[in-house]
Amino acid sequence: MIEEYSIELKESQHQYLQEMIEKYGIEDLSKAIRILVDYATEEKELETKIWEDERCLHCD
């Protein structure tokens, strides 16, 4: 069952996802985000790299 949620993205993040949607024929933004979450969930050995490495592409 899919539930609806609201998320906030920076313009460049949204643009990147839109480019990937076009490039890979993904049906919509929601599907693109589900793909990313599924990948992070399945790739346990990358968990630290995904969640603990500090990034500052869009520092608030």
pTM of the model: 0.80
Using a 10 angstrom Cβ sphere, with 0-12 exposed, 13-18 middle and 19 or more buried, the burial of residue 46 is exposed
Q: How high is the pLDDT of residue 19?
A: 98
Two tokens, residue 22: 């076009």
In this prediction, residues 14-35 reach a mean pLDDT of 97
The pLDDT, as a whole number, for residue 50 is 86
Q: Could you give the CA distance from residue 18 to residue 27 in angstroms, rounded to a whole number?
A: 10
How confident is the prediction for the chain on average, in pLDDT? Answer: 91
- As a whole number of angstroms, the distance between CA 21 and CA 2 comes to 19
User: In this structure, are residues 9 and 17 in contact, taking their beta carbons and an 8 Å threshold?
Assistant: yes
pLDDT of residue 58: 66
